[in-house]
Structure 1
C-alpha cells in the first residue's frame, strides 16, 4: 500500500510516517517509480510505534526493541540480546515513566479534590 493509504488506515500523517522511516522504525519497499510500498503488517507496526511513543519511549529505544516485538503484549527478546547498555536504558525509561505516572496520579487526585470541594460549596 502507498503512504497515503497507510496514513489513512492508521491515522498517522504521511509526514510522520516518513519521519518513522528516517528514524529507522519503518522499512518500506520502493516501487519502480520511487513510491513507498508498505506491506499489510505495516499497519500494525505503525500502531505499535504510536503506542510506544505515546507511552513516552524515545525513538532510540523503540528502534532497539522493535525487532523483538511481535504480537501485542509479547516480546520475543532472547536474554542474550539484552546488553547491559540496553538494560540500563530500559531501566532508566521505566523509572522515568513511573515518575510521570506518579505526577499524573497526583494531578488527578488534586482535580478530584478540587471538584469535591466545589461541589460541596454548591450544595
Structure 2
C-alpha cells in the first residue's frame, strides 16, 4: 500500500498464508497468514495484519506493538509474565523475547514492528 491516505476494513482483509517453521510448532496444526500494509522507506518500520489459527508455537519476538482484533491466546515469556490476550487488547513485545503462544481461538491482530 502507498504513503497516500487509505482505509481498509481489517476484519475482511484477505491475507496470504505464511510458511510456519515446523520446528516452532509444539501442539496442533496452526497456520499463520498476513498482509503487509505499509513499510517505511528505510525498511525499519512495518505495519500489517497477522493471523494464527489454534495451536501452540514458539517465537522470538521483534520490537512490536499490536492490537488484537479477534480471537484469543496466551503468550508465555521464557523469563517473564504470561499474558492472556483477546479483542481490544494492546500488547507490547520487546525485541528478542522468547515466547510460547497458545492460541485458543483464531487470533487476528494489527501490528507495528520497528527494527534497526
Q: Given the two structures, how large is their TM-score scaled by the length of structure 2?
A: 0.18
- Structure with the greater alpha carbon radius of gyration: 1
Greater relative contact order (CA < 8 Å, ≥ 6 in sequence)? 2
Higher helix share: 1
Q: Given the two structures, how large is their TM-score scaled by the length of structure 1?
A: 0.18
Higher strand share: 2
